[in-house]
Amino acid sequence: MTDRVFPSSKPTANGDAAAPPAFPATKAQAYGATNRSGYRPQPSRRRHRRGCCCRCCLWTTVAVLVIIFLLVAAAAVFYLLYRPHRPSFSVTSFRLAYLNTTSSGAVNSDFNLTVTARNPNKKIEYVYSPVSITVIATDSEINVGEGTIPPFTQGKRNTTVLRSTIKGNSQPLDSNSLLKLKSATKAKSSVKLKVKIDTKVKVKAGSLKTPRIGIRVTCDGITATIPASGGPATVASTANGNCKVDTRIKIWKWTI
């Protein structure tokens, strides 16, 4: 058997072994090297904008919370110092002279109303703007009379008696409302009524004065007997009357 002889690398001129032959680079390697050397990453603008928005929302939330805390603290201090209570109202007298409709379809009515306003506070005064009064037929929800009371100031622990003459609105009713009112007044000798009182009030506590706040007083449970034509005025029953006081705050176009 003969031995196989494997050729060794030929020595170079300086005596070193010859380097293996170099193979040409592929296209993928060539393009990849070119692309890697020319790419420069750009800073992200979205992250910068998102960070600014987050910081803005955070500081806005903190500011709102601080304002709410200060308002609550001021309200607590005011309550502890003055112990405020809402004013109370009651209908003490209600007389009906007549209630009918005209040939043009308007309401013809005459009421004499007496309202008692009470201020139970020891350290608070109420300053009222002009007061508007509306009398409404409860069953048909129709306005049957309107009146006013001039502005007045109510001192501490004061009881004020307010009187007003209520007259029917001269504007004619629509056919549906007119039919409802006629059927209600003809079918029954009495009619259920409610009184709505709208005004604005300013609170005075020592040197502190608040802005004027709208209030609405709704008094229901009033029953009036319709007098005969040409007869004397009748006195309505107010024993079951109940008056509720609600604040009315106007924000732009909405009233709450």
Q: What is the mean pLDDT of residues 159-183?
A: 87
Measured between alpha carbons, how far is 8 from 189 in angstroms, rounded to an integer? 135
Q: pLDDT value at position 153?
A: 95
Q: What is the mean pLDDT of residues 49-56?
A: 75
Cα-based distances in Å from 116 to 80, 87, 94: 28, 10, 12
> In the structure, what pLDDT confidence band is assigned to residue 160 with cuts at 50, 70 and 90?
very high
Q: State which amino acid sits at residue 40.
A: R
The predicted-structure confidence for 228-238, as pLDDT tens digits, reads as follows 877 889 999 99
The predicted-structure confidence for 31-50, as pLDDT tens digits, reads as follows 555 555 555 555 555 555 66
Q: pLDDT value at position 199?
A: 96
Closest CA to 10 of 20, 23, 24, 25: 20
pLDDT, the chain, mean: 82
Q: pLDDT value at position 84?
A: 86
Could you tell me which residue, 28 or 219, shows the higher pLDDT? 219
Closest CA to 236 of 221, 256, 214: 221
> In the structure, what pLDDT confidence band is assigned to residue 75 with cuts at 50, 70 and 90?
confident
Give per-residue burial for 137-176: e unless 16+ CB within 10 Å, then b: beebebbbbbbebeeeebeeeeebebebebbbbeeebeee
Q: What is the mean pLDDT of residues 123-144?
A: 93
Measured between alpha carbons, how far is 169 from 136 in angstroms, rounded to an integer? 11
pLDDT over 90, % of the chain: 43
> In the structure, what pLDDT confidence band is assigned to residue 11 with cuts at 50, 70 and 90?
low
The rounded Cα 198 to chain-centroid distance in angstroms is 17
In DSSP notation, the chain reads -PPP-PPPPPB-TTSPBPPPPPPPPPHHHHHHHHHHHH--PPPPHHHHHHHHHHHHHHHHHHHHHHHHHHHHHHHHHHHHHH-----EEEEEEEEEEEEEE-TTS-EEEEEEEEEEEE---SS-EEEE--EEEEEEETTTTEEEEEEEE--EEE-TT-EEEEEEEEE--SSPPPHHHHHHHHHHHHH-SEEEEEEEEEEEEEEEETTEEPPPEEEEEEEEEEEEEPPPTT---EEPB-TT-EEEEEEE-EETTEE-
| Token pair of 206 as six digits | 């020592």
Q: Is the pLDDT of residue 222 over 60?
A: yes
Q: State which amino acid sits at residue 122.
A: K
Closest CA to 238 of 87, 137, 90, 89: 90
> In the structure, what pLDDT confidence band is assigned to residue 182 with cuts at 50, 70 and 90?
confident
